[in-house]
Amino acid sequence: MTTSEDRIAALLADALAVVPMRPWSRYEVETMAFEAIAQALGQGEREMLGLWAESGMVHLAVRRIGEAPCVVSTAVIDGRFPSVGVRHAPAIRPERAIRDLFGYEPVDAPDLRPWLDHGAWTLAGPLGRRGDPVPRHPADYPMLPVTGDGLHEIPVGPVHAGIIEPGHFRFTANGETVVRLEERLGYVHKGIDGLLTDVPLERAGKVVARVSGDSTVAASFAFARAVEAALGLDVPRRATVIRGVMAELERLANHFGDIGAICNDAAFAIMLAHCGIFREKILAASAAVFAHRLMMDTIVPGGVTANITAEGARLIVATLDEITPAFEEIVRLYEDTPSIQDRTCGTGHLAADLAVRFAAGGPVGRASARDFDARRDLAYAPYAGHAFEVPVLTAGDVDARVQIRIREVAASMKLIREWLRALPEGPTLAPVPDAAAPAEGIAVTEAFRGDLLVWLRLLPGRKVARCHVRDASWFQWPLLEAAIENNIVADFPLCNKSFNCSYSGADL
Amino acid sequence: MVATEGRDLAPMRTLILKSLFAKPVTVPAPDASAAALDEVGRALEDRVRRVYGRSLSIREVDAGSCNGCELEIHALNNAVYDCERFGLKFVASPRHADVLMVTGPVARNMKVALERTFAATPDPKFVVAVGDCAAGCGVFGESYAVVGSVDQVIPVDLTLRGCPPRPIDLLQGLIALVDKASGRTGR
């Protein structure tokens, strides 16, 4: 282990630390070094934070537990780059996305089926090669073969029965038991990486806020921090605390929604009824204080565009006061009702080693023993130096994912109360200077569903040369396929909701 | 399996009893916005009764949204907005729907699915384009991956703007739709 560790450290020491990226380093390495780092990912010596491309270059964000992450980049040579997926499975889908978006070939890749390109675009490799498209019917997609006696397939989607996002699920079942689930996503691909190439800074901020509507605060938070890191810009203390309040309100709203919806998918509708009210109260308070129910476009580079008045702070605290006892009551109901426990306990088990291998963030990872929270482990303002509970469980089932959310609700409420008790005075927005030269920034925030990474390069003239947003869903979707195995088809909605991955956030 | 013996069923009993005797959380009428919601709801109910015999079945289709609009459409079903009290019901299949509520700029990858969903919805049917993206692509225009606004793919009867539109906006919009429906049926 130490030998290979030394090898990677040596490889990075030899590499050029390129255009200053802040706060972490970015190294440009040769093909062979890139392969060695991919190998280290596969051997569990590093975890992957993201894999994306820009014109002529592939970027891989990695982290060794307990250390700061770094980005390793390699040039695309003759339209080819070394496959990370062949060495580390979590990279397969990001790699397929790069191949579709840029037309770059991952050498030795284990899966070359198109991922985002369903044969309907006006260009092939729209961000790189820009070739003529080869139109295909959307259903023309080879699913992985499953063979055996008595197996049957159940195709579901892209249009689903509920008010949810589109995606296709192909179940292979033996009677009621799921033998395999294969996901096919990409239906809501809007070309976000393209819309985040050579755009004015303001415009980029608006697009990032709409990568996944439920995580708009977390995405804008990461985007703003990446811009501020690139420019070396300090944010007023009051602004960082307001950002924290918004991020935790977003977590509360989503966790309430999820806890209710998971139970509803096990036909325990009373939880949804109550959690729906809690969620609505949080959104109403957010609208009253920040003038937008989802707090969209409120976090901007330099600070925030809304302030919290004394009255606003009182309203938020009063809302939490009102919710707390009622929430405790329905948590008792959840825990003491055998009919719901029978559905959630032991269902949709995600093995801890898979959670680690895929660096699964958020409640999905923490319910399967992966003790990681970007707020604590890649600490940033206003969380840095603040003690708060990061619940971790080992059961890895639907119940554990519900329990993690329940505990995080309490932790978020505590944080909000503490911040509002001592809200620092001062300005809420610092002027954003123009970049004097190309400058890169990177940031990870903890969205309600897990770590969310934003990387960008700024150019003089208040422009974004390239920006990439990586939602936690990228590394959670593949795990859902594993978690549903050997469960009954009827428990799929329950398992799916307990993951609650974003379609838009991963389809981009 | 979870053992059922020794479990205390009191929380369920207490909660249900409380809920039975509690005042409805569905917004009553004290402040202005609550009054507006109540008013909107009743006006809608009268018209829905006339045109569709008390009910309007809605099928939601995400054609490329960021999910923000879905969150707010979802809220119509919660106890606060409780759209079912006005005869508005979300259904699981386009074959059961009177109305398609479509969100998002239409992603090229969703075009065929949207067209098929529209074709599967029986006449008479209405299409409501929900959100700034459905209305005019929002921030997602100028992309190789986007066809355009919803009306470039299927005929749209009503557009409800907002990013995302608030649930109250959606309710107000549905009244306008029923107005339109009344006009069509000559009543």
pLDDT score at A24 = 93
- CA dist A329 and B84 (Å) reads 26
Q: Which of A4-13, A65-74, B86-95, B109-118 ranks highest by mean pLDDT?
A: B109-118
Asked if the model's pLDDT at residue A189 lies above 60, the reply is yes
Among A107, A135, A159, where does a domain finish?
A107
Nearest to B2 among A276, A333, A338 (CB): A338
Non-local (6+) Cβ contacts of B12 within 8 A are A333, A336, A337
Q: A159, A270, A339: which to substitute to probe chain B, counting the most B Cβ within 10 Å?
A: A159
- CA dist A425 and A383 (Å) reads 18
User: Per the structure block, which two tokens stand in for A508?
Assistant: 């981009």
Q: A163, A281, A502: which to substitute to probe chain B, counting the most B Cβ within 10 Å?
A: A163
Q: Looking at residues A437-461, what average pLDDT do you find?
A: 97
Is A428 among the domain residues?
yes
Q: CB distance from B32 to chain A under 8 Å? A: no
Instruction: Give the closest-approach CA distance of B118 to chain A in angstroms.
Output: 11
| Yes or no, beta carbons of B113 and A330 under 8 Å apart | no
Q: B57, B109, B130, B146: which to substitute to probe chain A, counting the most A Cβ within 10 Å?
A: B109
**Greater confidence, A65 or A359?**
A359
Residue A385 banded pLDDT, cuts 50, 70, 90: confident
Is A201 among the domain residues?
no
pLDDT score at B24 = 79
Instruction: Give the closest-approach CA distance of B124 to chain A in angstroms.
Output: 21
pLDDT score at A6 = 62
Is A139 among the domain residues?
no
Q: Count chain A–chain B contacts defined by CB atoms under 8 A.
A: 176
Mean pLDDT lowest among A43-52, A237-246, A331-340, B174-183: B174-183
Is A504 among the domain residues?
no
**Greater confidence, A89 or B9?**
A89
Mean pLDDT lowest among A98-102, A335-339, A340-344, B32-36: B32-36
pLDDT score at B9 = 63
Residue B7 banded pLDDT, cuts 50, 70, 90: low
Is A83 among the domain residues?
yes
Whether pTM > 0.90 for this model: the answer is yes
Residue B16 banded pLDDT, cuts 50, 70, 90: confident
Residue B44 banded pLDDT, cuts 50, 70, 90: low
Question: pLDDT tens, B72-94?
Answer: 999 999 999 888 877 788 999 99
Ordered DSSP codes for A295-321: -TT-EETTEES----HHHHHHHHHHHH
For residue A359, the Cα-to-chain-centroid distance in whole angstroms is: 11
Instruction: Sort out which chain B residues have CB atoms less than 8 A from A342's CB and list them.
Output: 1-2
Instruction: Give the closest-approach CA distance of B155 to chain A in angstroms.
Output: 19
- CA dist A143 and A191 (Å) reads 24
Nearest to A345 among B2, B93, B107 (CB): B2
pLDDT score at A10 = 73
| Yes or no, beta carbons of A333 and B107 under 8 Å apart | no
| Yes or no, beta carbons of B66 and A210 under 8 Å apart | yes
Do A410 and A265 fall into the same domain?
yes
Is A23 among the domain residues?
yes
Residue A335 banded pLDDT, cuts 50, 70, 90: very high
Q: Looking at residues A273-286, what average pLDDT do you find?
A: 97
- What's the domain range around A435? 214-464
pLDDT score at B185 = 41
Task: Give the count of domains, chain A.
Answer: 2
Distances from the Cα of A208 to the Cα of A192, A224, A290, A477, B85, angstroms: 8, 10, 19, 21, 37
Asked if the model's pLDDT at residue B59 lies above 80, the reply is yes
Question: pLDDT tens, A386-410?
Answer: 889 999 999 999 999 999 999 999 9
| Yes or no, beta carbons of B64 and A121 under 8 Å apart | no
Is A198 among the domain residues?
no
Residue A123 banded pLDDT, cuts 50, 70, 90: very high
Instruction: Give the closest-approach CA distance of A278 to chain B in angstroms.
Output: 10
Residue B28 banded pLDDT, cuts 50, 70, 90: very low
**Greater confidence, A197 or B55?**
A197
Q: Which residue of B has its CA nearest to A270?
A: B16
Residues above pLDDT 70, as percent of chain A: 98
Do A99 and A223 fall into the same domain?
no
* Longest Cα separation, chain B: 63
pLDDT score at B88 = 85
pLDDT score at B95 = 94
Mean pLDDT lowest among B9-18, B81-90, B124-133: B9-18
* Strand B146-148 relative to strand B106-107, pairing: antiparallel
Q: CB distance from B92 to chain A under 8 Å? A: yes
* Strand B88-90 relative to strand B56-62, pairing: parallel
pLDDT score at B179 = 62
Residue B183 banded pLDDT, cuts 50, 70, 90: low
Asked if the model's pLDDT at residue A9 lies above 80, the reply is no
Q: Looking at residues B16-21, what average pLDDT do you find?
A: 84
Asked if the model's pLDDT at residue B35 lies above 50, the reply is no
Q: Work out the burial of residue A299: count CB atoms within 10 Å of its CB; fewer than 13 is exposed, 13-18 middle, 19 or more buried.
A: buried
Do A221 and A100 fall into the same domain?
no
pLDDT score at B180 = 61
Asked if the model's pLDDT at residue A476 lies above 90, the reply is yes
Asked if the model's pLDDT at residue B51 lies above 70, the reply is no
Q: Looking at residues B166-185, what average pLDDT do you find?
A: 70
User: Per the structure block, which two tokens stand in for A281?
Assistant: 């109260």
Instruction: Give the closest-approach CA distance of B57 to chain A in angstroms.
Output: 13
Do A332 and A459 fall into the same domain?
yes
Q: Looking at residues A268-272, what average pLDDT do you find?
A: 94
Asked if the model's pLDDT at residue A242 lies above 70, the reply is yes
| Yes or no, beta carbons of B111 and A211 under 8 Å apart | no
Q: A165, A190, A342: which to substitute to probe chain B, counting the most B Cβ within 10 Å?
A: A190
Instruction: Sort out which chain A residues have CB atoms less than 8 A from B131's CB and list them.
Output: none
Instruction: Give the closest-approach CA distance of A458 to chain B in angstroms.
Output: 20
Q: What is the CATH number of the domain that holds A356?
A: 1.10.645.10
| Yes or no, beta carbons of A213 and B92 under 8 Å apart | no
Do A260 and A407 fall into the same domain?
yes
Neighbours of A32 (CB within 10 A): 11
Nearest to B139 among A166, A210, A333 (CB): A210
**Greater confidence, A247 or B186?**
A247
Among A70, A86, A107, where does a domain finish?
A107
Contacts of the segment A167-171: beta carbons below 8 A, 24+ positions apart: A167/A503, A169/A492, A170/A143, A171/A489, A171/A492
Q: Looking at residues A421-438, what average pLDDT do you find?
A: 95
Asked if the model's pLDDT at residue B31 lies above 70, the reply is no
Is A98 among the domain residues?
yes
Nearest to B107 among A123, A161, A189 (CB): A189
Do A81 and A227 fall into the same domain?
no
Non-local (6+) Cβ contacts of A402 within 8 A are A259, A262, A263, A334, A344, A498
**Greater confidence, A105 or B176?**
A105
Nearest to A118 among B109, B116, B146 (CB): B109
Instruction: Sort out which chain B residues have CB atoms less than 8 A from A190's CB and list them.
Output: 64, 104-105, 107, 140, 143, 145-146
Residues above pLDDT 90, as percent of chain A: 91
pLDDT score at B184 = 43
Among A57, A89, A107, where does a domain finish?
A107
Residue B122 banded pLDDT, cuts 50, 70, 90: very high
Residue B30 banded pLDDT, cuts 50, 70, 90: very low
Instruction: Sort out which chain A residues have CB atoms less than 8 A from B12's CB and list them.
Output: 333, 336-337
Q: What is the CATH number of the domain that holds A62?
A: 3.30.460.80
Q: CB distance from B60 to chain A under 8 Å? A: yes
Mean pLDDT lowest among A145-149, A201-205, A341-345, B42-46: B42-46
Distances from the Cα of B113 to the Cα of A2, B57, B107, B118, B156, angstroms: 52, 20, 10, 9, 16
- CA dist A25 and A18 (Å) reads 8
Q: CB distance from B7 to chain A under 8 Å? A: yes
Instruction: Sort out which chain B residues have CB atoms less than 8 A from A191's CB and list them.
Output: 140, 143-146
Nearest to A333 among B3, B15, B74 (CB): B15
Instruction: Sort out which chain B residues have CB atoms less than 8 A from A194's CB and list them.
Output: 143-145
Q: How does the average pLDDT of chain A come out, rounded? A: 94
Q: CB distance from B17 to chain A under 8 Å? A: no
Q: Looking at residues A419-439, what average pLDDT do you find?
A: 95
User: Per the structure block, which two tokens stand in for A267?
Assistant: 């036909």
| Yes or no, beta carbons of B93 and A161 under 8 Å apart | yes
